[in-house]
Structure 1
Amino acid sequence: MGILQKKLIIIIVLACGILAYSFQGFWQKSVDDQARVTVLPPPGNATTANTTTAHGTGSDVVVYVSGGVIKPGVYKLSHGSRVVDAVAIAGGFSPGADAARINLALQLKDEMQVNVPYAVTAVSTPGVPAGSSVTSTTGDRININTASKVDLDKLPGIGPALAERIIEYRTTNGAFKDLTDIKNVPGIGESKYNQFKDKISL
């Protein structure tokens, strides 16, 4: 074999080695890039572990269920769910809830509040026969045992939310025995009670 042929073989072997090394480096870089793409979440869609805030996606909705249910709170349901599903996941209706005043067939929307109203129950009043109608007001005073949410809302310092809490409290615990018992309702303290104490009755 001539010297020229030997040099040619050496050149060919070196070229093959360089190509093989280059190919290996390129292949390793591709694998690493692919691994990084797989591990990193898509921009804007990252979620934080242990978060307590629920967010609806295209396949689900997040709603707040309040009022006359066993377990009020924020719940995530699948897209297309109805109000009846939200009530069910919140433990069902609580005693005193008025299911007839809410549309159970209504389809849920993300960030929607489902507020289950309470029924206005007849409260027995001393000296008044059972079944007799009892007005919610006495003169210019509002009877806190029979007043509706609208009537309670008229009291100074009492908005719709507190009016609903008053009705919820008396439904759960029975009629108020003393005017000061209304201070047991969450959100009603001494100062707020003093704003309307002269405008309420039993």
Structure 2
Amino acid sequence: MVKERLKKFLPLILATLATVFVLAIYFSQSNNEQADAWEENESAFQQATEDSEKTTEETGKIIVDIKGEINKPGVYELEGDARVKEVILEAGGLTKQAEEKQLNLAEKLQDQQMIYIPNKEEAEEMAIDGDKETGDNNEDMIDINAADINELQKISGVGPAKAQAIVDYREENGAFESVDELNEISGFGEKTVEKLRDSIKI
């Protein structure tokens, strides 16, 4: 009875074993191919890295990325002593919308440097933001020609005695023409004046 069952299922068992054997060979070859592909990709990456290092170190070339209002934005290879003007020419020149006033065409380029060329609207917005920042900073500064004793004491490092000395100096010599005149007041050394320079104005 057992032998008859074995004979009945023997073809199925053999077919299953054959299938498993074939699949094992297939996956083994597939893994080997993947490993070979990985090694090839890794080798290609290393070669590209070496070529890049050779470009910047041995040949003296640099790679620069230029974007914005330029006719042919992209990555360019130039001589190591190239200037901004040269990469602009290499990239087809500026567009009609480009704002050239903020560019330093004589600036020496660096390897891996990114240059962005703004349009006129962007340049105007940047200028406005810069003016606002400067204005805010000026509002926080104390005018040593107009401030009274109490206001002068709001300056970090200036107490009642130094505030009075500033007022006395103004009364005797007139308005300050320069922050450096504080050096002429007793108690105000060069280091003290340098610390106060960002907090006061004329």
**TM-score of the superposition, structure 2-length normalised?**
0.34
Report the structure, 1 or 2, having the larger helix content.
2
Structure with bigger gyration radius = 2
**TM-score of the superposition, structure 1-length normalised?**
0.34
